[in-house]
Structure 1
Amino acid sequence: MSPDELSAGLARVCARAGLGVVSGEPQRLTGGAVMESWRFAAGSEAFVLRRAPSLAFMEGRPYGHAVEAALIEAARARGVTAPEVVAVLEEADDLGSGFVMRALPGTADPKVILGCDDPAGLLRQAARDLARIHRLRQADVPEGVPVMDYRAALADLKAQFIAAGGDRPIIALGLKWLEDNVGVISHPQPLPQAGGEQVVLNHGDYRMGNLLVEGSSLTGVLDWELAHFGDPHEDLAFGCMAVWRFARYDRPALGLGSLADYFAAYEAESGTKVDPARFRFWTIYRTVWWALGCLKMAAQWRSGADRMLERVVISRRTSEQELDLLLLLEEDAPEAERARPAHEWPSTFPTAGEATQGEIALAVAEWLETIKHRLDGHDRFQWAVARNALGMIAREDTSFAMLAENDGLAEDILAGRKGLSTPKLLAELRGLALMKLAVDIPKYPALDHARKKWTGEN
C-alpha cells in the first residue's frame, strides 16, 4: 500500500470516528512479527493504526480485529493497562483489516526497557496486569475468543511440524516430551478467585516487546491477537522464555528479575499459587510453538502473503528455540548423557580463489554500513534486518551445512525409538544446536551460556 493510499484511508477512518483531520505522513513503527503498526496525528492527538499486511494473514484465525478491539476494551474496563480503541476498520476505509488506538506514552523497545532504573518495580506492575487479565471470563469478552483444547493444540503443533518438513530432530524431541507429559496440564484445577471455573483469559503474547513502558512504569499492554481461554501458567511461562529476555538472560522473569519475585507478585494480586510443573510444561510448549512459528515465516514469504525481508530472517530464528529446547529438556536425560560434552561437527573453510558467496554477502553488508546514516524509522529497522540476513549468508558459507535437517532421526524420536536416553544423541544434538545458532544468530545471549555449559569454553 502506497503512502498516499494509507493517508487517504486514515482520513476516511478519522472522519467517520470524529478524530479530526489527519496531518503529516504516517510513520511505520518497528517490531511486530505479524501485524503492522503505524503512528499518525489527527486533530491535536496521536494515534496508532494496527492492521494486517494483507487479508490473507487473517485467514484461519479464530477471530478478527473487531473482536480483538472489543477484547482490549473489556480488559481496559477491568483495570488492565491497555490502549483505548477508537475505531475499527471497515471495508469502505480500504485499509484492510485492523483498528485505530489512541497512542500511549512510552516505548516497547526491550533494550530501553530492560535498562530502566527500577526493573523490580516494573516486574511487579507486569505481574499485576497479567493477574488482572486472568480475572476476565468468557462472559466478560465478545464471542469468538476460543477456549484452548490442550490435546488438540498439541496435535496441531505436530501437524505443523510435519507440514514444515518434519526434519528437525530437536523440535521432534520437544514434541515427544509434550506428548508424554501433557497429563500435567490436561485437567486444569479450579481457580479459587474464578468461582470454580477452570480457565482464564490468556493474553497469549505477554512478553517484553508487547509491553509499553515509560521510565520504569508500565503504560500499555499491546498485541492481543492471540488471546484465548486456558491455563494461566501459559501466559506466565511465555514471557519468561529466554528469547523474550533479550540481553538479560540472567533475569529469568521477563528479563526484569527472578521467577520467585514474579510469582510472588502474581500470587499476591491473583490469589492463586503458581505450579512449577505446569510452568515448565508451558515453557517447553511455547518454545516448540515459537520454533514452528519461526519456520512458518519462510512459508508466508514464499506464498507471497507478505514479502517483507523480516519474514525470511525470522525463519532462521528457529535455531534459537532449538538451543533453548535442549537446555530445558536435558534435565530429563540420564546423568551419563548430560555429562557428555557437545559433539564437535566438522567445518569447511573459504577458498583462496574467486570470492565465495559469503564474501560477496560480506561485501554488500559493508556497503550497507555506508548508507546507515541516511535512514530512519522503519527503514532503519529494515536496514538492520538486511545486515543480519547477509551475516547469515556469510557465516553459513564457512560452516558445514548439514546443520539441522534429518527427517529419519526426527521420525525415530517422535515414534519413541530414540530419545534423551539414547547414547550420544544429546551430545550430537547439542553440537548441532551450537553450530546452527552460531551461523544464524551468533549474538543470541543463550549461546554463550550453552557453549560454556556443554563444552567448557568461555
Structure 2
Amino acid sequence: MTAQDHLSTKLDAALMKRGISPSRGLVRLHGGAMMESWFFEASEDPFILRCAPSAEIMSGRPFGHDVEAALIRAAREAGITAPEIAFDLADNDYLGSGFVMRALPGTSDPNTILACQEPDRLLAQCAQQLARIHSLPAASIPDAVPVLDYHQALEDLHRQFAEAGADRPIIALGLRWLRDHLPAPIEPQLNHGDFRVGNLLVEGSRLTGVLDWEVAHWGDPHEDLAYACMTVWRFERIDRPALGLGSLTDWISAYEAFGGAPVNRDRLHYWLVYRTVWWGLGCIGMAQTWRSSDPSLERLVISRRASEQELDLLLLLESDAPDAEQARTIAPTHATADPAGEATASEIAVAVRDWLATLKDRVEKHDRFQLAVARNALGMISREDLYDGGAWRDPELSRAILNGEQSLLTPGLLGRLRRTALDKLAADVPRYPALAVARAKWTGEA
C-alpha cells in the first residue's frame, strides 16, 4: 500500500465520522513549499485537505492550523472570498495537523491569471479584498494572531542573516538600508501576510478566492500592499508593477477607493525592500530546513532562488548611489565552455536533465511538477562552472556594509554588486524575467 493509499484510508475514516461519503480522486496539488494540499471529491462536492507534511514544519509557524481555520472563518463571515472550512482535523483522525475546506472555483495558476481578459477589473477586486481584510475588527480575530513589532522583525532578519553565514553583500546592503529607514509604527491592521498572485483563485477575470492565511498578523497595511507588488510575484508581467495586473497608481487608487487608508509611497517602498530581504533570507533558509528535517526537493531548489531577490533588491536600492556610479555600465558576460576529454559535471547534468524530459508524458499531477523541479535542479548544476559568480559570498564586505563602513556611495561598489547579481542569477535562474531587464540596464546589452 502506497503512502497515498494510507492517506486516503485515514481521510475516508475522518469523512465518515462527519457524515461525508468516502473520497474520490484524491490527488496532491503541486506548489506550496510549506504545506500540502490534496484535492478530492466526496458527497458530490469538491474539497481540499490542507495539512502539514511534518510536525517540524508546524513548530516554526506563528500559529497552528486551528487558528488559521478560525481566521478563515472570520474572514468569510466578513464577506471576504475565503474558503468555507468543512472541519478541523482531530488527533484521532491520525492525519496530523490541518483542516478540510470546500474547494472554490477558479485557478491559482499565475500564467492563466495574468493572461486574463480584464486585468484592470481583477486588480480592482484584489484591492477591494485587501481593503476588507485590513478593516477586520480585532474582536473577530483569534487572539493567537501575532502583532508585528517593526524592530523585532528587523532583528529577526539580522539573526537569519547571521545563521546563513552573513556573507551576502547585497542582502547586507538591504539590512543596513532597512535599519537606516525604519518607519515609525502606526495603528496595526490585520495583514493577510501572503496576498499575491499564486495564492488567489481566479475564474476568467473574477476573483473567487483568497487562500493561504498561515502567516497573517497585525501590522502596517503597507506591508501587504507592497508584498503583492514584488517582482517575483509578477511572474512574466514585470511591466505591470501591481500584482502583474496593472500600475502601482491604479493599485493604490483602487485600494483607497474601497475604503483602505491613504497610502504613503515611502512606507510602501520600505516594506517592498523589507519583504524582498525577507524572502531572500527565506529562500536561503530552505536549504537548512532540508538538511535538518524535510527532504523536499522543491524546498532545496527554492533555496537557490535567493539570487532573484538579490537582483531585485539591488534594483530597488541602486538609486542611492551617485548618478555617475549608476550611469557606469559593466561589461556583459556570457557562459563559455570548451570542454575536452571525459564528460564534465555540467555535461552529465545536462544529459540527465534531457533524459528526464522524455518521462514527462509518463507522469501526471504532482509527480509531473516534481519532475520539472528535478530538471530545474540539474540545470542549476549544469551552469555552475560556466559563470564567474565573483565574490557573491564575502563576509568581510558584508560586515563592512552592515557597519556602515561601505555603502553605495563607495566608488565601484555598485558595479561590483551588479556583476555579482547578474552572474549568480544567470547560473541559478536564467529565465527570471528581471534578469533581462537588469542586464540591459547595467550592461547596455539588448
TM range (shorter): over 0.9
Structure 1 distance, partners of 2:432, 2:210, is 25
Q: How does 1:140-151 map to 2 (within 5 A)?
A: 140-151=140-151
Is residue 345–residue 432 contact of structure 1 (8 Å, CA) maintained in 2? Answer: no
Kindly state the Cα deviation for residue 350 of structure 1 after the two structures are TM-superposed.
Answer: 4.3
SS of corresponding position for 1:201: strand
Match of 2:280 among 291, 301, 309: 291
Picking from 428, 433, 446, the partner of 1:440 is: 428
* 1:359–1:406 Cα change, 3 Å: same
Supply the RMSD in Å over aligned alpha carbons. 1.4
| Residue of structure 2 in register with 1:137 after alignment | 137
Amino acid at match of 1:15: M
Q: 1:105 maps to what in 2?
A: 105
Q: 1:401 deviation in Å?
A: 4.8
Instruction: Find the counterpart in structure 1 of residue 185 from structure 2.
Output: 187
Matched, 1:115 2:136: no
Partners of 2:260 and 2:302 in 1: CA distance: 38
2:388 corresponds to which of 390, 397, 400: 400
Q: Does 2:23 correspond to 1:9? A: no
Amino acid at match of 1:377: K
* C-alpha contact 1:350 1:397 (8 A) present in aligned 2: no
Matches within 5 A, 1:59-458: 59-182=59-182, 184=183, 186-188=184-186, 198-303=187-292, 305-342=293-330, 349-402=337-390, 404-458=392-446
Q: In the TM superposition, what is the alpha-carbon distance from 1:347 to its structure 2 partner?
A: 7.0
Partners of 1:37 and 1:360 in 2: how far apart? 34
TM-score (norm 2): 0.97
Rounded Cα–Cα distance in structure 2 between residues aligned with 1:272 and 1:23: 45
CA distance in structure 2 between the aligned counterparts of 1:242 and 1:62, rounded to whole angstroms: 26
Residue 46 of structure 2 corresponds to: 46
Amino acid of the structure 1 residue aligned with 2:305: R
What amino acid is aligned across from residue 18 of structure 1 in structure 2? G
- Deviations along 1:58-102, one digit per CA (max 9) or x if unpaired, are 113221000000000100111111100111111111111111110
CA distance in 1: counterparts of 2:403 and 2:194, whole angstroms: 31
Q: Which runs of 4+ in 1 moved over 4 A?
A: 343-348
After TM superposition, give the deviation of residue 360 of structure 1 in Å: 0.1
1:19 aligns with 2:20: yes
Paired with 2:213 and 2:258, the residues of 1 have a C-alpha distance of 21
Give per-residue Cα distances to partners, 1:247-299, cap 9 Å, x unaligned.
Answer: 00100000001111111110011242111000000000000000001001111
**Which whole-Å CA distance do the structure 1 matches of 2:120 and 2:349 have between them?**
42
CA distance in 2, matches of 1:404, 1:309: 24
> How much does 1:400 deviate?
2.3
Q: How far 1:337 moved relative to its partner?
A: 1.5
Between the aligned partners of 1:401 and 1:447, the Cα distance in structure 2 is: 14
Q: Say which is worse superposed, 402-411 or 102-111, in terms of deviation.
A: 402-411
For residues 364 and 259 of structure 1, the distance between their equivalents in structure 2, rounded to whole angstroms, comes to: 43
**Deviation, structure 1 residue 402:** 4.3
The alpha-carbon distance between structure 1 residues 78 and 255, as it changes in their structure 2 partners (threshold 3 A), is same
Mapped to 1, the partners of 2:407 and 2:103 lie a distance apart of: 49
Cross-structure match for 1:193: none
How far apart are residue 331 of structure 1 and its match? Answer: 1.4
Give the letter aligned to residue 320 of structure 1: E
1:316 partner SS: helix
SS in 1 for 2:76: helix
- Return 410-419 or 336-345, whichever deviates more: 336-345
Distance 1:44 1:287 in 2: 43
CA contact (8 A) 2:169 2:398 kept: yes
SS of equivalent residue, structure 2 residue 407: coil
* 234-243 or 270-279, which deviates more: 270-279
* Structure 2: tracts of 5 or more residues without a match: none
Q: CA deviation at 1:443?
A: 0.6
Letter matched to residue 258 of structure 1: S
In 2, distance between residues paired with 1:224 and 1:68? Answer: 6
Is 1:203–1:226's contact at 8 Å kept on the other side of the alignment?
yes
Query: What is the distance in 1 between the residues matched to 2:401 and 2:332?
Result: 21
* CA distance in 2: counterparts of 1:250 and 1:93, whole angstroms: 47
SS in 1 for 2:386: coil
Amino acid across the alignment from 1:203: H
Q: Distance in 2 between matches of 1:222 and 1:138?
A: 20
**Structure 1 spans left out of the alignment, 5+ residues:** 189-197
Give % identity.
59
Task: Tell me which amino acid in the other structure corresponds to 1:287.
Answer: T
**1:12 shift after superposition:** 2.5
Distance in 1 between residues matched to 2:91 and 2:392, nearest whole Å: 44
Instruction: Give the secondary structure class of the aligned counterpart of 1:270.
Output: coil
1:87 match: secondary structure: strand
Does the residue aligned with 2:299 lie in a helix, a strand or coil?
helix
CA distance in structure 2 between the partners assigned to 1:369 and 1:23 by the alignment? 30
The change in CA–CA distance for 1:450 and 1:208 in structure 2 (over 3 A counts) is: same
Is this contact kept in 2: 1:30–1:381, CA < 8 A?
yes
User: What is the alpha-carbon distance in structure 2 between the residues aligned to residue 169 and residue 23 of structure 1?
Assistant: 51
Distance in 2 (CA, whole Å) between partners of 1:403 and 1:18 is: 61
Letter of the 2:427 counterpart: V
Q: Report the Cα offset of residue 9 of structure 1.
A: 1.9
Q: Which SS does the other structure have where 1:47 is aligned?
A: strand
